Each structure stands twice: as C-alpha cells, then as structure tokens.
Amino acid sequence: MEHLASGNETAAIAAKMSRASCMPVFPITPQTEIIETLARWKANGELNAEFFTMDSEHSVMSAAVGCSATGARTFTATSSQGLTLMNEILFIASGMRLPIVMANVSRGLSAPITLWSDHTDFLNQKGDGWVQVHAQDNQEVFDSLVMAFKISEDRKVLLPSMVNLDGYVLSYTKEPIDVPTQKEIDKFLPPYKPKHAFFKPNKPLIQGAAVLKPEAYTYFRGQHHLANLNALEVIQEVCKDFKKKFGRDYGNGLIEEYKTNDADVIIVTQGSISTTAKAAVNEMRKGGRRKTKVGLLRLRTITPWPHKEVAKALQGAKHIAVFEKNVSPGRGGLMMSDLKASLYDHTKKKPIITEFVMGLGGSPESIQMFKHGVKLAKKDRKGEVHWLG
C-alpha cells in the first residue's frame, strides 16, 4: 500500500519489516528519527527486537558485532561524526564477516560543523570492506535495506552492508512509498540461520582472534576481498529476485543508466541529487534545435566497485560531467579515481571528464546547476575541475 513517509521513517519501517532482532542505537542528527521511530514501536509493543541505547557510536558498533556474532539479525543507523567514531569497529565487523545492516544518513564532516548532507562521511569508508549502496529516493531506501539483509546474509558474501540516504533531502522529506505486506517481505527474506561459526553458550569459540602469521592474515584479507567481489554477482541476483516479487526494477543493482544510449554527454551522480539531475536531462533533451543528447549514470553500489559496468556505461560519451557531493582535500572528489581507473582498464577511447565539486554541507543543487555543468563540460578540452555552490 502506498503512503507518505520521510526517509527516516522509511528506514525504520524497513528494519522492522526485515525482522531485525537486535538494534543497538545512539542518536545523531539527521538520523535520530530512525531510532526514535523504532524506540516508539518498542515501547508500545509493535517492535519485536532487543533494543539497546548505548553510550556512543563506538559502543553501538561493538554491540552490533556482538549481536551479529551470536547469529542475530542486527540493524543500526548512524550519520557523519557517528560513522567516523565507529571507524575502528567497522573494520572488525567486516573482517569478522558479520552481516550487520546499517542505515547511514549522510551528513558533512566537522570541522567546521555542518548538519547538512554531503557524501564525504561514507565515501571516507571506501576501504572498510562493507558493501555500500546509495539510495536516490525513499522508495529505494526501503527496498535497499530489505535487499541488504539478503545480500549480506548470502553465504557467498557474509559481509555487513551500509545503505546510504542523504540527510534532510531524503531523511526529513516526505514522499510516497509503496510498502509490501509483512507476508511478502517474509517470503522474500526468510529468517537468518547462520551456518558458519557463531557464538552460542554451550560451544565456546573465539572470533576475530589475532593471527600473527602474515600468511594467515593475508589469507583472511584475500577471502574478504573475494567476498566483496562475490557481492557484485549476489547484488544482481537479489535485485532480479526483488523485481520478480515486487515489480520494482533496479537493473543490475550496481549502476543505473538513464538515457545514456545515444548520449554525447553523460552526467555522473549518486544519491538524491540524481533525481534532480534526471529532471535536468529531460529538460535538456527537450530544447528543440539547441537540445543536447545528454544521459545520466547513477552510481548505486559504491563498494564493491563495478569497474566493467561503469566503463561500459561511459564508453560512448564524448564528455563526462561528474558531480561529486564530497571532497577529499588534496585529492578532489572521492569517486574520480575509481571512475578513471574503470575507463583506463576497460575502454580504448578516453572521454574528457569534467569534475564538479558541489553540494558540500548541503549547498543546494538545482536543474539549472546541472544544465550549467553540462554546458561547461561540452567546452572542456583538458579535464577541468569546478567548485559549485
């Protein structure tokens, strides 16, 4: 049934309907509404889960590791500074191969302090070995969280997943979402029954122990890497299954191509700015004699990085305009190196890439901004970098 919900409410509904049974939590703007909603349901008996309020995000992720290591389906949510405070334990969660699912509501990092969304917080976690997807609207927040449990718990993957949604622009924006029945969700996502090592009282074991031999450590890191590469396949399978059951199509689940077939210029985006960029694509394609053949590539799966799919989507374009709502000082946008690596490995013709660092600390995007960007990209001969906003 369709109803109106904010991105945060949507995430809470998805966690509840996925029957996550353990939820360690700590509040942080703009994510707090997720755990407030879950806490309200816990208090009035609607939520059948262990709900722990912890003293910090570091403790939240530590508790999540403990919960998941006992074989419990575990959910939590965070944002920005909270995510960076979890950093140490994020590597432990993925290294121990624990299928925790977390919603991260993106927000720029301090200093200076901002409450608004940009993507620096979670792109900064590119190396932690979590599976990461980025939603463009509230419907995708719901669908991605439900799918994330299935992907994470797959025996070929067994990795934690982070589903990113943009602060405010999705977290506090109400839009219509279609929520399946509990029965339909249960059929798609059966209870989690771990077959690998997990804690139980009658069988002592150690997880995440020290391996002082470098070859053992290398073995585990190699396995972790392979599991991430397996996720490229599993994400596609789960998206296909999801489409069959619920009718919503996320293609291969790795990238989304919008009107790229005949495009001379391709805009590259991720997250909620993508829908405004699509509206800009539609307008630019309308413009009569002055129309531009423009398309859009949306990066949906951030880790593992789908090199081949990205290169294939971009190979026909003359110009590429990358809009990055993040910055790594001294490097530039955090997606550029991955994007360029994909093109280097998988295409012969090298299109010119114009980079736009935009939307930092919630600086607003608009249809005009994307149109302006495409205009600059078409004139670019050397790969310029522009800061917008």
Partner 1 sequence: MYKIRIHGRGGQGGKLASKIIGSAAFLEGHEVQDFARYGAERRGAPVESFVRIDKDKILERGYISDPDCVIVLDETLLDLVDVTYGLKKNGIIIINTIKKYPKFKKKGFKVYSVDAATIAMKHLGKPMYNTAMLGAFANISDLIDFEHIKQALQHEIGKKVGEDYIQKNMDAVHEAYEEVVMQ
User: What sign results for the dihedral spanned by CA atoms 180, 142, 31, 132?
Assistant: positive
Among 106, 276, 301, 326, binds partner 1 (CB under 8 A): 276
In angstroms, the Cα distances linking 285 to 189, 259, 264, 315, 323 are: 40, 10, 11, 20, 19
Site string for partner 1, 62-101 (x = CB under 8 A): ----------------------------------------
In angstroms, the Cα distances linking 221 to 78, 215, 224, 389 are: 26, 10, 5, 40
For residue 205, state whether it binds partner 1 (rule: CB under 8 A): no
Q: Which residue type, as a one-letter code, is found at position 67?
A: C
Count residues near partner 1 (CB under 8 A).
21
Q: Considering the complex, state which of residue 347 and residue 363 has its C-beta at the smaller distance from partner 1.
A: 363
> Residue 176 Cβ, how far from partner 1 at the closest point, in Å?
6
Place of tokens 């800061």: 387
For residue 175, state whether it binds partner 1 (rule: CB under 8 A): yes
> Residue 103 Cβ, how far from partner 1 at the closest point, in Å?
19
Candidates 91-99, 171-179, 325-333, 374-382; binding stretch for partner 1 (CB under 8 A)? 171-179
For residue 246, state whether it binds partner 1 (rule: CB under 8 A): no
Among 122, 168, 305, 323, binds partner 1 (CB under 8 A): 168
Task: Sort 240 into a burial class: Cβ within 10 Å, 0-12 / 13-18 / 19+.
Answer: middle
Candidates 70-78, 208-216, 322-330, 365-373; binding stretch for partner 1 (CB under 8 A)? 365-373
**Helix count and strand count (H, E) for the chain:** 12, 15
Q: Considering the complex, state which of residue 314 and residue 369 has its C-beta at the smaller distance from partner 1.
A: 369
In angstroms, the Cα distances linking 268 to 51, 307, 357 are: 39, 14, 12
DSSP β-ladder status, 2-6 and 174-178: antiparallel
Q: Considering the complex, state which of residue 59 and residue 173 has its C-beta at the smaller distance from partner 1.
A: 173
For residue 275, state whether it binds partner 1 (rule: CB under 8 A): yes
> Residue 9 Cβ, how far from partner 1 at the closest point, in Å?
12
**Is 177 in contact with 2 (CB distance < 8 Å)?**
yes
The answer for residues whose C-beta is within 8 angstroms of residue 123's C-beta and 6 or more apart is 302, 326, 328, 334, 335
> Residue 144 Cβ, how far from partner 1 at the closest point, in Å?
18
Among 59, 173, 207, 315, binds partner 1 (CB under 8 A): 173
CA distance 318 to 379: 11
> Residue 319 Cβ, how far from partner 1 at the closest point, in Å?
22
Strand, helix or coil for residue 203: strand
> Residue 286 Cβ, how far from partner 1 at the closest point, in Å?
14
For residue 388, state whether it binds partner 1 (rule: CB under 8 A): no
- Does an H or E element contain 178, and which? strand 174-178
Give 312's DSSP letter: H
Residue ranges binding partner 1 (CB under 8 A): 4, 115-116, 168-169, 172-176, 272-273, 275-276, 278-279, 282, 364-367
